[in-house]
């Protein structure tokens, strides 16, 4: 590829617990997601993480012809929004783990209860035949919020 000679490209690959693998390029889905045949256990002190090589051992045409400017590994699959934030260099993004660490025990319990309610409601919707992806809930919430903003009478009279 020659398009990347003058500008860096942000690549992210997510491996979800259900085996779904998704690739993102510059914050946007790249190709179709797919399911792996199952999870693989990488034991401590017995595994190697390699960047810039297709397969070990190194050699032949297996090496990356380019430079890696930054590499990050997370212990969970990032959401599409998190990847967009990383790709855009959005420095005000705060991971959930840090937010949770800053909360009191009571607040953490409240978050856990609300997360359980979301799972329960999603299960109820699914049992009713309304399979809605988690990101669709958030998208719809933002759409409803934007619509309510535009319907404020203060906005209606703006020319």
The 10s digit of each residue's pLDDT in 55-93 is 677 777 777 777 788 888 888 888 888 888 888 887 577
If asked whether residues 100 and 156 sit together in one domain, one would say yes
* The predicted structure's pLDDT at residue 128: 79
If asked whether residues 82 and 148 sit together in one domain, one would say no
Classified as helix, coil or strand, 25 is strand
Residue 13 phi, psi (nearest 5): -125, 125
Residue 103 CB contacts under 8 Å (≥ 6 apart), including other chains: 111
The model's pTM: 0.51
User: What dihedral do alpha carbons 109, 112, 118, 119 form, nearest 10°?
Assistant: -140
* The predicted structure's pLDDT at residue 78: 85
Span 22-26, average pLDDT: 90
* The predicted structure's pLDDT at residue 133: 64
* The predicted structure's pLDDT at residue 155: 58
pLDDT at residue 156 greater than cutoff 60: no
* The predicted structure's pLDDT at residue 82: 85
If asked whether residues 58 and 34 sit together in one domain, one would say yes
What is the domain range of residue 145? 94-159
pLDDT at residue 46 greater than cutoff 80: yes
* The predicted structure's pLDDT at residue 115: 92
* The predicted structure's pLDDT at residue 4: 63
Residue where a domain stops, chosen among 92, 126, 146? 92
If asked whether residues 22 and 44 sit together in one domain, one would say yes
Q: How many domains does the chain have?
A: 2
pLDDT at residue 1 greater than cutoff 90: no
* The predicted structure's pLDDT at residue 3: 63
* The predicted structure's pLDDT at residue 109: 96
If asked whether residues 58 and 48 sit together in one domain, one would say yes
For 87-145, write each residue's pLDDT tens digit: 888 757 777 778 899 999 999 999 999 999 988 988 888 787 766 666 676 777 778 87
Residue 34 CB contacts under 8 Å (≥ 6 apart), including other chains: 20, 21
* The predicted structure's pLDDT at residue 91: 59
If asked whether residues 76 and 132 sit together in one domain, one would say no
Residue 72 phi, psi (nearest 5): -140, 145
Nearest Cα neighbor of 12 from 94, 98, 73 is 73
């Amino acid at each position: 590829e020659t398009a990347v000679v003058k500008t860096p490209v942000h690549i992210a690959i997510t491996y979800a617990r259900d085996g779904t693998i998704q690739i993102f390029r510059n914050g946007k889905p790249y190709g179709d997601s797919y399911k792996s045949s199952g999870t693989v256990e990488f034991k401590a002190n017995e595994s190697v993480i390699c960047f810039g090589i297709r397969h070990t051992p190194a050699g032949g045409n297996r090496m990356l012809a380019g430079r890696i400017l930054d590499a990050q590994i997370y212990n969970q699959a990032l959401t599409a929004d998190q990847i967009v934030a990383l790709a855009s260099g959005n420095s005000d993004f705060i991971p959930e783990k840090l937010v949770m660490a800053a909360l009191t025990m009571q607040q953490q319990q409240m978050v856990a209860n609300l997360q359980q309610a979301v799972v329960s409601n999603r299960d109820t919707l699914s049992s009713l035949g309304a399979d809605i992806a988690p990101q669709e809930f958030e998208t719809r919430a933002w759409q409803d919020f934007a619509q309510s903003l535009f319907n404020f009478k203060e906005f209606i009279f703006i020319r």
